[in-house]
Each structure stands twice: as structure tokens, then as C-alpha cells.
Amino acid sequence: MEAVRAIALMMGSAWASGINLYATILVLGWMGSTGQVDLPPALEVLTDPSVMLAAGVMYFVEFFADKTPGVDSGWDAIHTFIRIPAGAIMAAGAAQGLDISPAAELVAGLLGGTLAATSHATKAGSRLLINTSPEPVTNWIASITEDVAVIGGLWASLNHPWWFLAALVVFLLIVAWLLPRIWRALKRVARAVKRWFTGAPDDKPTQGPKEGFEQRRRDVLKELYHDAES
């Protein structure tokens, strides 16, 4: 059972880091410092008050940045270089609970980094599509859902590891189906934005610059709204 708990913590910390790293550090640090869970030696640093304070400050910043259309995608772009390496480090540290060799810990880190990259790509890609909608409500709903999922997922990985691992398999199956569709939708958005600025090949030559730009703007907005609804 201890091995299952360690594997669940390894996968859970990597998955959660790809979505919200600072919430992950706070949850694990709080649960470790209050004695609710025994963290592996490599993760005990998360219980340090200075680490928890820094994570709390950054989570406060991310709480609002992640709910602002446009800002959330910029935040995700920057954190591509933070969440994925952190997910790998978290997974390698959690793997110490399995009492395995350094080589196996490295493999665990590579798997954790891949899992963090998967959850991060899903979050960032879906946010880019959500930002094609003109209202901010969906950003708040998506962000709060992600926060709840991270906190609930980490709690489940520590208290109900079998249930968490089963849910993680379902998540990966959904992502395998979803990511190609997100990629195709993003390419459509990119083409629509390009036409907005450069003009479609079939623009009428009788249109002046202002009329042509306005027509392109209406066409692009129509296409973006269609993508957001679908």
C-alpha cells in the first residue's frame, strides 16, 4: 500500500504542478507541516515556512492573473518554463518514498515532467480558446475549476491513491482525445487572426482600406465566436 501511495503522490504532484504549481506547493506543504501526511525527505522542504510564504504570495498573484482574459495566457506561456521542470522535480522527490535507485528516480522525474507538460498544455490550450469569447465569466469558471481540481486531486492522491490513479487514467484518455482538437482549433484561430491583419485573398478590390479592414474584422469575430461555441 505504501508503494501505491508513493506512486500516487509522484503522479499527483507532477499532474497538479502542470496546472497550478503554487497551489500544489501550498497543499503539500500544509499537509506535511500539520502531520496529515509524511512527505519523502526530498519534499520536506515544502513544509518550510519561507517556502510556503513565497508560494502563498505567488498563488495570490496567480489567482487574479489566471482569471483575466489574455493575461492568463501570457501567464501560462511564462510558466511553461517553470511548471514542467517543477513537475519533474516533484515526481523525482516523491519517488524517494519507493526506496528506489537513483536511476529509477531519474526515470520518475522524466515521467513526471511529461505528465506536467501534458496537464500544462491542456490548461494553456483550452485557455487560449476560451479567450476567443468576449466575456470573462468562462475564465473565472475555468480557473476556479482548476484550483478545486488541484486541491481535490492532491488530497485524493494522499488519502485515496487507488481512486486518484483511476481518475488520472481517465484524465489521460480524455486529454488524448482533446489535445488534437484543441490544436486544430488554435490553428483556425491563428489563420483567422492572420486574415484580420493581412486580408483574405478574395477581398474585393473595390473596397477601400477602411472598409476592407472592417469586413475582415467582422469575418474574424464571426469565426472566433463560432470556435468558442463549438
Q: Which long-range contacts (CB under 8 A, 24 or more apart) does 102-108 make?
A: 108/10
pTM above 0.95, yes or no: no
- Cβ atoms of 139 and 9 closer than 8 Å: no
- Which three cell numbers, joined as nine digits, stand for 223? 469565426
pLDDT truncated to tens, each residue of the chain (230 aa)?
688 999 999 999 999 999 999 999 999 999 999 998 889 999 999 999 999 999 999 999 999 999 998 899 999 999 999 999 999 999 999 998 787 888 889 999 999 999 999 999 999 999 988 888 777 788 899 999 999 999 999 999 999 999 999 999 999 999 999 888 888 888 877 777 677 667 555 444 444 454 555 555 566 556 655 555 55
Q: What is the pLDDT of residue 206?
A: 47
Q: Which amino acid is at 158?
A: L
Q: Is 80 in contact with 121 (CB distance < 8 Å)?
A: no
